[in-house]
Amino acid sequence: MNSLVLLVDDDAALRSAWRRLLKSVGFEVLEAPDAVAARQLFKAHPVQLVLLDLMLPPEQTPEAGAALLGEFLSARPDAKVVVVSGTGEASLALSLVQRGAYDFFSKPADPEHLLAVLGRAQARMGLEARVRELEQSLAAREDQLLGQAPAFLEAKQLTARAAVTDIPLLLTGASGTGKEVFARFVHARSRRADKPFVTLNCGAISPQLLESTLFGHKKGAFTGALADSKGLFAEAHGGTLFLDEIGDLQLDLQVKLLRATESGEVLPVGASRPVLVDVRLVSATHQPLPEQVANKHFREDLYWRLRGIEVALPRLSERPGDVVLLAQHFLNTARSLVPHAVMPTLSPATVRCLESYDWPGNLRELRHEMQRALVLSGGRGELQPEDLSPALRAQAPSDGTVHAALTLEEKIERLEREELTRALAECEGNRSHAAEKLGLSRQGLLNKMARHGLR
């Protein structure tokens, strides 16, 4: 459980009292007296819990405090920031909760209240982590590793063959192409399946913390090392360790990782004796490692060690036919988000929009797009292009190509629908004005809208 709290307040006496209180119940505390220090600490440490006073030097304005909250949340949307306001700022603090702060309270704070809010935030983070884990392991079941495109099937077959061995695997591919899902697939298909699957995103944790996170530490090895920690290698003993964004690993840690993979031993920070570990490594990167090797940012010996077998995951745009298959799958799994939604389908025009888009965010973007479209469609049943994001609609093929394959009746239907949509958009949804524009009675327009499923 993440127990690191960043305490941001310019009042040194209050910080010291809260630090003692938080430490007494097992939190680790980082302190910042102003916005500059807060930014630095937030960047350098994997902070997920923040207590943020709004009136901070140098600006000393609640607006500047609110801007800092925005910065934290855009860097780490899952972080829980509890806003601490002075008397008279409660309404602003409340509006910040609407903008993403986890909670707020006014000074002077009751210690029990403070601990209760932090405890709730921690429990919430635990739940969110569990949901993410379940989502990923669900997607990793073989029947969920969906796709029929040749480039995808080739990657899947190679992975399945490598999975049953103990050879290290390097998964390459752009963000959102499914590297973590493949890593779980490898674990699930290996003899290690009933042992732990442990993941670490090497880019999401500060270099200072990475060594002890990977290899563990002894109590007192550095400030803040309150107890012995096993480290992820030891936690993954017998199972699989998935190192995501391996290209972000600092050179000094690359040396230590190489040593661990060669000897099968890790040395916790502050320990005098190494610990034996039996771990299968699966690494992933979206950056081309050979380039990193060429410009000396990545050690060549480690590259060859991790690369055992390399599987390159194709971009979604390189998987013709899979977009619609996956879109339908994501729609089905997102159905629980919309109460009473009927089984959603994709209209032919929507299919064309999906197929002609580039998908820079790959499967992750498609999943979000389908969730969004489903919510926007309000459970209408068939998704239409207007349910999609503007970027997708903008790339839809021109009318000439679209219309070529339709019957005359379908073309007329389509034209009518487009004219209705356009008139409604131009009149900002005002039906009487739109009806007038189209030369229809208001009731006539409503009938046609109902027939086309427009609202």
Ligand X SMILES: Nc1ncnc2c1ncn2[C@@H]1O[C@H](COP(=O)(O)OP(=O)(O)OP(=O)(O)O)[C@@H](O)[C@H]1O
CA distances from 419 to 83, 94, 399 (A): 49, 43, 13
What H or E segment, with its residue span, contains residue 201? strand 197-201
DSSP assignment of 391-405 equals HHHHTSPPHHHHHHT
What residues form DSSP beta bridges with 199? Answer: 242
Provide, rounded to whole angstroms, the least separation between the CB of residue 67 and ligand X. Answer: 27
Q: Is 314 in the site for ligand X (CB under 6 A)?
A: no
Contacts of residue 340, defined as CB under 8 A and 6 or more positions apart, other chains included, come to 379
- The closest residue (CB) to ligand X is 178
The rounded distance, in Å, linking the Cα atoms of 321 and 333 is 19
The one segment of 62-70, 137-145, 296-304, 421-429 that binds ligand X by CB under 6 A: 137-145
Nearer to ligand X, 68 or 186 (CB): 186
How many residues interact with ligand X (rule CB under 6 A)?
19
| Residue bearing tokens 């017998």 | 238
Q: Which residues pair with 4 in a beta bridge?
A: 28
Min dist. Cβ of residue 377 to ligand X (A) = 21
Between the alpha carbon of residue 395 and those of residues 222, 226, 389, the distances in Å are 54, 55, 11
Could you tell me the smallest distance in angstroms from the CB atom of residue 123 to ligand X? 24
Nearer to ligand X, 168 or 268 (CB): 168
Among 139, 163, 169, 341, contact with ligand X (rule: CB under 6 A): 139
Smallest distance from ligand X to CB 132, Å = 9
Query: What is the smallest separation between the CB atom of 317 and ligand X, expressed in angstroms?
Result: 14
How many residues would you count in the chain?
Answer: 455
Closest to ligand X by CB, 179 or 280: 179
Dump strand ranges (E) for 33-172: 49-53, 80-85, 103-106, 169-172
Give the residue, chosen from 189, 259, 364, 448, that forms a contact with ligand X under the rule CB under 6 A: 364
Residue with smaller CB distance to ligand X, 102 or 185: 185
Contact between 265 and 279 under an 8 Å Cβ cutoff? The reply is: no
Establish if 286 lies at the interface with ligand X (CB under 6 A). yes
- DSSP secondary structure of 352-366: HHHHHS--TTHHHHH
Contact in structure between 431 and 454 (CB atoms under 8 Å): no
Residue 21 or 146 with smaller CB distance to ligand X: 146
For the chain, the first-to-last Cα distance in angstroms comes to 46
How far, rounded to the nearest angstrom, does the alpha carbon of residue 318 sit from its chain's CA centroid? Answer: 23
Cα–Cα distance between 191 and 159 in angstroms, integer?
14
| Residues of span 141-180 touching ligand X by CB under 6 A | 144-147, 173, 175-180
The answer to whether the CB of 119 falls within 8 A of the CB of 126 is no
* Shortest spacing between CB 159 and ligand X, in angstroms: 11
Site for ligand X in 194-253 (CB under 6 A): 244
Between 31 and 322, name the residue whose CB sits nearer to ligand X: 322
Contact 277, 266 (CB under 8 A): yes
Which is closer to ligand X, CB of 202 or CB of 392?
202
CB of 344 to ligand X, least distance (A): 17
Interface with ligand X by CB under 6 A: which range of 139-147, 263-271, 296-304, 440-448?
139-147
Residue 311 in the binding site for ligand X (CB under 6 A): no
Minimum gap (Å) between residue 353 Cβ and ligand X? 20
Cα 183 → chain centroid: 16
Nearer to ligand X, 46 or 86 (CB): 46
Nearer to ligand X, 205 or 258 (CB): 205
Interacting residues toward ligand X by CB under 6 A = 136, 139, 144-147, 173, 175-181, 244, 286, 363-364, 367
